[in-house]
Amino acid sequence: MIHVLRPGLLSTIQDLGRTGLASLAVPRSGAADRDALRLGNRLVGNPEELAGIETTVLGADFRFDSACWVAVTGALCGVRVDGRPSHVDRPVFVPADGVLSLGAALDGVRSYLAVAGGIAVEPVLGSRSTDTLSGLGPPRLAVGDLLPLGTAFGVPAEVDWTPRSRAPAAVRLLLGPRDDWIDLTALGDYVVTSASDRVGVRLRGPALARTRTEEIPSEGMLPGAVQVPPDGQPVIMLADHPTTGGYPVVGVVHPADLGLVAQARPGAVLRFELSRRSRS
């Protein structure tokens, strides 16, 4: 078992999410930065899809009943085992009755704790992910929670350093399906607002005006979909987004760049690089 000593601002259990259920109005959910969770699982010898813990900004503290290999990935943060400094992006050994502490994020928003064997809470609709919008899955972590662990799959990776990719100057935006409903010539730099969460990243910057004024029926949405509400300020859908929406979707952030969006702190500046897809 893992004992939750300090859950921080918002800590949840996340795997790679629920797939194939959008027709039932069930979004994918899962880790907001999927690449970070995948990396953590690989570092401790897990399959990439196992559940870990996603922390938000302020970190969290956990006590382990038995000795275990763990890895902390995603947003850089201070890592300590029984008060001693440790590492991110590499396997870390926590002894029996040891306390693992994740400090506040030094960059980014979300850090990920992968544990050998994964977090083995009961799955809901095929996933152990917490969906903060619908309430599906386990509740957000609270002081005193006991989290069961699965059986370790293999040995930790033999690495002592993992390279980090540098953030690109712009996130790629694949245009469509409603890019002809919005005047995109006003696109510029956008600031991430404090109203952002796992549902979506809200931006503030040059307002985007409609070129068509009629209403559209609600349409399906994907993670990374960029909606333009009446105020013209874009919203980028993240893991817990609704499955449909009635505002024009002008494009979808390239899946490889969505983790960057998920890690953008309030006040960070995002710029879009437009890519027009073939309509044939």
- List C-alpha distances in Å: 10 to 6, 198, 229: 10, 10, 27
Dihedral sign, Cα of residue 256, residue 262, residue 263, residue 269 = positive
Q: Identify the structural domains of the chain with CATH numbers, from first to last.
A: 2-147 (2.60.120), 171-275 (2.40.100.10)
| pTM score | 0.95
User: What pLDDT was estimated at residue 277?
Assistant: 59
**pLDDT 10s digits, 22-74:** 988 999 999 999 999 999 999 999 999 999 999 999 999 999 999 999 999 99
User: What pLDDT was estimated at residue 65?
Assistant: 97
Taking alpha carbons only, the member of 41, 39, 164 closest to residue 107 is 164
Q: Contact 166/269 with Cβ under 8 angstroms?
A: no
What is the DSSP code (8-state) at residue 85? E
Q: In whole angstroms, what is the distance from residue 255 CA to residue 218 CA?
A: 23
Q: Contact 75/11 with Cβ under 8 angstroms?
A: no
Taking alpha carbons only, the member of 31, 62, 83, 81 closest to residue 145 is 62
Q: Contact 228/135 with Cβ under 8 angstroms?
A: no
Provide the CA 163 distance to its chain's centre, in angstroms: 20
Q: In whole angstroms, what is the distance from residue 8 CA to residue 102 CA?
A: 9
Taking alpha carbons only, the member of 240, 236, 259, 235 closest to residue 28 is 240
CB atoms under 10 Å from CB of 37, counted, come to 30
Locate 43 and state its tokens: 């570092």
Dihedral sign, Cα of residue 208, residue 209, residue 212, residue 217 = positive
Tens of each residue's pLDDT in the chain, 280 residues: 999 999 999 999 999 999 999 988 999 999 999 999 999 999 999 999 999 999 999 999 999 999 999 999 999 999 999 999 999 999 999 999 999 999 999 999 999 999 999 999 999 999 999 999 999 999 999 999 999 999 998 899 998 888 887 777 799 999 999 999 999 999 999 999 999 999 999 999 999 999 998 989 999 999 999 999 999 999 999 999 999 999 999 999 999 999 999 999 999 999 999 987 544 4
- List C-alpha distances in Å: 226 to 28, 200, 205: 17, 9, 14
Q: In whole angstroms, what is the distance from residue 250 CA to residue 186 CA?
A: 13
What is the DSSP code (8-state) at residue 249? E
Q: In whole angstroms, what is the distance from residue 55 CA to residue 4 CA?
A: 12
Burial-class residue 111 by CB neighbours within 10 Å (0-12, 13-18, 19+): buried
